[in-house]
Amino acid sequence: MPRDYLKKATLTAQSHATEVHDTVKTILSDIETGGDAKALEYAAKFDKFDGNVLMTQDEIDAAIALVPEKLKADIRFAHDNVRRFAETQKATVSDVQTEIVPGVVAGQKAIPVDAAGCYVPGGRYSHIASAIMTVTTAKVAGCRHITACSPPRPGEGVAPAIVYAAHICGADSILAMGGVQGVAAMTFGLFGLPRANILVGPGNQFVAEAKRILYGKVGIDMIAGPTDSLILADSSADAHVVATDLVSQAEHGYNSPVWLVTDDRALAQKVMDLVPQLIDDLPELNKENAAAAWRDYAEVIVCDNREDMAACSDEYAPEHLTVQAEDLDWWLDRLTCYGSLFLGEETTVSYGDKATGTNHVLPTSGAASYTGGLSVHKYMKIVTWQRATREGSKPIAVATARISRLEGMEGHARAADVRLAKYFPDEQFDLTADG
C-alpha cells in the first residue's frame, strides 16, 4: 500500500528563495565595497543599534554581571558537556604516516583553521546554546581566533547570557551586529577582526543565504535552511509526548517543517488532534511561529510497516530525527540519513539543542543525506604530506611518467623523467605511454 499523507505541506523551504538571494547579494556587495562604514549603515537600519559594535572587555564584564548565577551554572553545565564531546571527537582524528612502498612515506596532518566566525542568533530568540555549540567546538579544535557575532537589541546590545556563554566558551572577540552585515563583517575582516576562514552557526534565511553566497570565498559549516524535525513513532508511542515534541520544534520559525511518520493510523490521528491545542497554549510569539509551521509545512504520513517508515525517513534526511518506537537498536542500525538521532522517549531534540553535548548546528533541507553536523572536525583541515628516498621514488617516477603521457600531460611526465635521469644516470627506463 502506498504511503498515506494525512497532512501534506503546502509550502517548502524554497518558496521565497529568489527574493532573499537578491537582497542578500546586494548587501554583501555593498559591504565588501564600503567596508566598516557600510556595515554600520546596515546595522543602524536592521539592528537599530548605535552602540559599540566590537565589545570591549569592560562591556563584556558589565553584561556578564547581569546574568543570574543560576543561569550561569546552567550555561557552564552545557558548556562542559559540549566540550567533553568535542574533545572525544577530536581524539578520533590524529596525525598518521605510512610507508606506501619501500622508501616512500605519506602522511596526514590535522590542522585547525586560523580564524572562525561564529554566528549566534539573538533576534526573536536569544540562542544561548548556539554560542556554546559554535565557540566551544572552535576552541577545542584549536582555532587561533574566534569571533562570536550576535544581533544586538536596540538600546541594550547583545543579550547578556549570550555574552557570558561566548566569553566562557573561548570567544576572542564579540561583535554586536546581526544578520547579513554581521556575517559580512567576519568574512571581510572589518572592525579590526581577522578575516574568518570559516563561518559557522544557525541563522534566519538571510544569514543562511549569505553563507551560501560567500561559500568558496570562505568556508562554511554547511548550507542550511530552516530547521526541520521528523519523528518516527509506532503504536507504543505516547501521542501527547509525540505532539509536544513536534510543537517544540515548530516554534523555531514559521517555515520550520515538522513531520510525523508512523505505521499506526490511530496514533497519527490523535497527534493531529492534540497539536493545535498544544500550540494554542504557547506564549503569543511562539504560538504564531508554531501555528504557521504546522499549517504550511508539517506532514503526517502513515506507512505500512517499520521498514517503510525507515525508508521514508531516509528520503527526507531530517536535521533532527526522533524514534519513539520499540526495538531501538534496530532503528539505530537501519537509519542512515539524519543530522542527529534521538532514540527513545527518554531523550528529545530539546536536550540536544541545549545541553546534551552533541552539536545542534545540523544539516537541514535534506543535506543530511551527504553531510553531518557541526563538529570539531569542521574547523580542521585534513592535509597530506609525503617524503621519499631516491631509490623509493624510482617506481613512482616510472609509473608517473607513463600515466602522464597516456593522459597527454607531457610536462608532468618530464618532472618524473628529470629525477630518473639525475638519480639513476646509468639505468634505462621505458617511459613511453604505449608500453
Pick from 240, 243, 239: which is nearest to 229 by CA?
243
Task: Give the C-alpha separation, 335 to 323, whole Å.
Answer: 10
Give the torsion sign (CA, 207, 197, 159, 83): positive
Task: Give the C-alpha separation, 123 to 100, whole Å.
Answer: 53
Catalytic pick among 319, 346, 391, 410:
319
CB 131 within 8 A of CB 116: no
Give the torsion sign (CA, 259, 260, 263, 269): negative
Distances (CA, A) of 77 to 130, 154, 325: 14, 30, 30
The set of residues, in sequence order, having a beta carbon less than 8 Å from that of 2 and lying 6+ positions away, is: none
Catalytic pick among 167, 252, 320, 360:
320
Task: Give the C-alpha separation, 209 to 225, whole Å.
Answer: 8
Cell 526573536, residue?
A: 124
Is 320 marked active-site?
A: yes
Is 19 marked active-site?
A: no
C-alpha cell at 207: 544569514
Pick from 289, 291, 288: which is nearest to 276 by CA?
291
CB 201 within 8 A of CB 119: yes
C-alpha cell at 158: 547583545
User: If DSSP codes are grouped into helix, strand and coil, which group holds residue 101?
Assistant: strand
Pick from 276, 225, 257, 238: which is nearest to 321 by CA?
257
The residues carrying an active-site annotation are: 319-320
